[in-house]
Structure 1
């Protein structure tokens, strides 16, 4: 019905996907804390109320249901959001009912900055700041990026690396993936 499209459907036939990730689960930390805290308060207050206040208890339970539904929506949004890096561009797809695709050509990237806070080191995420020629692009700051070092290295190689070596490496990777698919089918 409202099935979000796979981010690979937005790739051109001439593009090769280098990396596809979703944001790290740590980006949901505040939403998890908020949902658990609100549910705990609703349950505790509901049980502390005398039975004569049944209307207020019902309101609290409906509020708790709303909190659960809102959290489920936030998790679903996180699940469908993808960051894709190809040999030609960076893309981010978001949305459940209405899909939004953010895009920036790799050729526009002039500088990359990679940050990894203490919590990022513990849980395995980082922030990457992508700068382009005097413009603020849609994908200029990517927070809670899992495998941020690999994404940083891949984009650096695409932007600043040897183009012929990249083409040879992508051909080898494509051949390996094709061989794996054939092995699974056969």
Structure 2
């Protein structure tokens, strides 16, 4: 799998070109109950100290790593039709990219289910994707209790956007899950309970 990044902290939908930093060709865990592939998009507005995809987020980690072109990615999807059921789109933070709906629409046209992994920082994008029925499943990371969000995600995290995203998922007819990575040196027992 290839993962990488050279984009610094981004603002909402500031990225206009989809950059693919990696592709996991087969996964049994990224889309519950489905045989899937996972595509990793570059860029994130958070700086979580426990990020497992830091090479998609931190420019100094990605300088010499190659990208996968959209042409290569969609060629792969066409070759795997009938074998794979779904595609998980993750990052970094995919919702920062204003072309995400176009990208997902192309995936859907090939007949795949689409799952989005998100940090929930762009409720407007989530709302658009759900309204246009471009996503079948959304997994949103809950990083920490409200008062600790900047400690985990970095300065500038807008907790109101996180709460809006939670409400959007709970009020719409899309399958979703909320998940948390527990890090003993960062989270306390009180955070979990």
Which of the two has greater strand per residue?
1
Q: Same fold (TM over 0.5)?
A: no
Which of the two has greater helix per residue?
1
User: What's the TM-score once normalised by structure 1's chain length?
Assistant: 0.22
Bigger Cα Rg? 1
